[in-house]
């Protein structure tokens, strides 16, 4: 979106719109409609007089009253999103302006587009002349469950060490929101050979009547690759490591993206709602979300964010991709910008599995802070040059020949591929500790993570807004003597009910031109981990440079160690500091909030 367009929306967000229309209950008096009822994208569509605008309408109280208001304006209830007290409908501009004035309405958001995390540039040729690039994967032996790969990535997270203790994610079902999963090709053969008991099935939410089927289809290829990174039971011949992060877990594929990797909010929310509904039946404990949408509103107003929060509240650990729009700051997308869920950035493991000192943050990995000033991502994991299954005949197979390896294998980069590794570790944790809550699983993952430090200076190489708590480390996350809960200071029940919302502790220092952590939040951490140098103007303008980070990294001088224990104060000082939001919808204009307003303590109260 252009800077000019954002300027227009900012003006609309800070002023009241004087709109004339009939009001429910027979009143025809002109009404003042404040813009805190409308998402910026909806305001733009209404201003353009668009017809047939698909919107998600949140109720201010009784959902039945909201439904009646929609029906009175000639709309249909196309979907009932009971997990977020909202409905889906399609209305013309004039009807939306009338609906927004109805007291039954809390907020109207666009039924926006979602997509699989953008693929970074094509895989570059290997620099390792000892192993030709076509031999990234070779010597496949399905009969004995072995394959030779150049980069057995689970070693870079210590996942193989957990598997060696016979912890494989058994009994845990992971739901994937993606493009589907192909039961043809190599994966189809493996399903017939033994995967079948662990394949719950696929539900296609792009169809009018979604239902569970034991066969899967994937016209795009993204979902097949991502799911394979979790439940691949083939072992690397040299290391003996399973290539899946949780090869004992069960898989439920929820197709919400089409052959082009595109979808809508309605499909993703319907899938999340189904996962909550089927949670106990299939023991769904983890949800992998490797898709994203642009952030256009506060986290607590966005319907997709509210839906993942509802899943978290229901006891499902939600793991999401940060996105591939880095390295610039403030690029983490929806739903990765939600403070409750686990947001994953990507590492480049340099294809040296088990050797960590040459690893670096992938330059495309999206970085925080979020527009609500929270630190994101939460963790990082390998996401560069990961080999997994290829869906035969898919768009990937046809249009990404540079990434195809052998007949049924594919190499992919991105936070989409890093995310299922962490989802798998979450399943390993839950096999070992089945009674943990999502907040406790998140705490284990983050408190056991390892920070990238410069060997000589012992200073973090990347800021907290780039690497979060650091790289996930499975052995400590699963077996460590760890107790505690993340998201301390946040109340998800109050957040979802609209009683209270929150803001992170990030601030922008105009004098030093850097991000910092507000006093009372993360400042008890030692070292230079909490500042980020760069240039901030507006959201649409973004940043141009920052000191440190990627440009100062030199191979071979990195160490990943310590996790939170290297910082004074420990994890609890990070998880405990959040302020409540005091401004409501209208104070959020698509950029950094004024510190005087954003950082004050208060409670959001609907008008």
Give the position of tokens 């034991």. 214
Buried b (16+ CB within 10 A) or exposed e, 260-269: ebbbbbbbbb
C-alpha separations of 574 from 11, 20, 52, 403, 445 in Å: 35, 48, 45, 40, 14
| CA 340/CA 285 separation, integer angstroms | 16
Annotated catalytic residue, options 178, 348, 372, 439: 178
| CA 21/CA 39 separation, integer angstroms | 19
SS (H, E, C) 358-416: CCEECCCCCCCCCCCCCCCCCEEEECCCEEEECCCCCHHHHHCHHHEECCCEEEECCHH
Write the CB contacts of 385 (distance below 8 Å, at least 6 apart in sequence).
Answer: 123, 136, 151, 348, 349, 351, 411, 413
CB atoms within 10 A of CB 71: 12
| CA 384/CA 406 separation, integer angstroms | 19
In three-state secondary structure terms, 532 is strand
| CA 105/CA 146 separation, integer angstroms | 57
Cis peptide before 576 (omega within 30 of 0): no
Annotated catalytic residue, options 416, 423, 575, 589: 416
CB atoms within 10 A of CB 603: 11
Annotated catalytic residue, options 163, 222, 225, 501: 222
Phi, psi of 535 (to 5 degrees): -130, 120
| Cβ contact 516:509 at 8 Å | yes
End-to-end Cα separation, the chain, in angstroms: 30
Residue 433 bears catalytic tag = no
| CA 60/CA 606 separation, integer angstroms | 8
| CA 165/CA 492 separation, integer angstroms | 35
Which residue, 90, 71, 602, 595, is CA-closest to 373?
A: 595
Residue 222 bears catalytic tag = yes
Listing DSSP states for 157-187 in one string gives GTHHHHHTTT---TT-EEEEEES----SHHH
Please report which helix (H) or strand (E) contains residue 17, including its range: strand 17-19
Catalytic center residues: 178, 222, 416
């Amino acid at each position: 979106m252009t800077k000019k367009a954002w300027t227009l929306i900012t003006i609309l967000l800070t002023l009241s719109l004087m709109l004339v229309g009939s009001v429910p209950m027979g009143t025809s008096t002109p009404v003042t409609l404040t813009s805190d009822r409308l998402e910026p994208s909806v305001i733009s569509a209404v201003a353009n007089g668009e017809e047939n605008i698909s919107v998600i309408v949140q109720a201010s109280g009784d959902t039945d009253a909201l439904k009646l208001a929609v029906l009175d304006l000639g709309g249909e209830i196309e979907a009932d999103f009971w997990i977020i007290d909202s409905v889906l409908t399609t209305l013309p501009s004039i009807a939306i302006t009338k609906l927004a004035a109805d007291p039954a309405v809390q907020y109207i958001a666009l039924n926006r587009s979602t997509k699989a995390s953008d693929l970074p540039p094509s895989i570059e040729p290997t620099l390792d002349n000892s192993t030709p690039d076509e031999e990234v994967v070779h010597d496949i032996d399905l009969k004995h469950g072995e394959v030779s790969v150049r980069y057995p990535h689970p070693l870079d997270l210590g996942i193989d060490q957990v598997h060696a203790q016979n912890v494989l994610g058994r009994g845990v079902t992971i739901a994937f929101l993606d493009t589907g999963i192909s039961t043809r090709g190599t994966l189809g053969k493996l399903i017939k050979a033994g995967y079948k008991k662990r394949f719950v099935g696929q539900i296609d939410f792009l169809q009018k009547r979604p239902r569970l089927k034991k066969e899967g289809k994937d016209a795009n290829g993204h979902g097949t690759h991502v799911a394979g990174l979790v439940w691949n039971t083939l072992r690397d011949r040299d290391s003996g490591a399973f290539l899946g992060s949780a090869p004992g877990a069960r898989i439920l594929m929820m197709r919400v993206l089409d052959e082009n990797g595109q979808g809508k909010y309605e499909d993703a929310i319907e899938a999340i709602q189904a996962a909550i509904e089927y949670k106990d039946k299939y023991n769904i404990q983890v949800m992998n979300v490797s898709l994203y949408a642009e952030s256009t509103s506060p986290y607590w107003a966005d319907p997709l964010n509210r839906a993942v929060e509802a899943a978290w509240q229901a006891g499902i650990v939600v793991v999401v991709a940060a996105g591939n729009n880095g390295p610039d700051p403030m690029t983490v997308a929806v739903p990765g910008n939600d403070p409750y869920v686990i947001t994953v950035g990507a590492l480049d493991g340099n294809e040296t599995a088990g050797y960590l000192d040459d690893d670096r943050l992938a330059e495309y990995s999206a970085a925080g802070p979020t527009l609500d000033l929270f630190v994101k991502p939460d963790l990082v994991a390998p996401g560069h040059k990961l080999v997994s299954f290829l869906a035969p005949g898919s768009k990937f197979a046809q249009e990404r020949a540079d990434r195809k390896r052998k007949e049924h294998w594919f190499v992919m980069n991105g936070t989409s591929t890093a995310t299922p590794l962490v989802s798998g570790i979450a399943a390993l944790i839950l096999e070992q500790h089945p009674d943990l809550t999502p907040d406790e699983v998140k705490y284990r993952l983050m408190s056991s993570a390892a920070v990238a430090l410069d060997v000589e200076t012992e200073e973090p190489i990347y800021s907290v807004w780039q690497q979060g708590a650091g790289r996930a480390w499975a052995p400590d996350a699963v077996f460590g003597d760890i107790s505690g809960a993340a998201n301390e200071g946040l109340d998800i029940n109050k957040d979802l009910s609209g009683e209270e919302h929150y803001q992170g502790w990030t601030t922008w220092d105009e004098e030093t031109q850097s991000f910092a952590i507000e006093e009372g939040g993360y400042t008890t951490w030692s070292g230079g981990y909490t500042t980020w140098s760069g240039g901030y103007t507006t959201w649409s303008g973004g940043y141009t440079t920052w000191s440190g980070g990627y440009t100062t990294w030199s191979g071979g001088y990195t160490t990943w160690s310590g996790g939170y224990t290297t910082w004074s104060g420990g994890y609890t000082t990070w998880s405990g500091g959040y302020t409540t939001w005091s401004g409501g919808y209208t104070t959020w204009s698509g950029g950094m909030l004024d510190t005087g307003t954003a950082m004050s303590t208060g409670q959001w109260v609907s008008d």
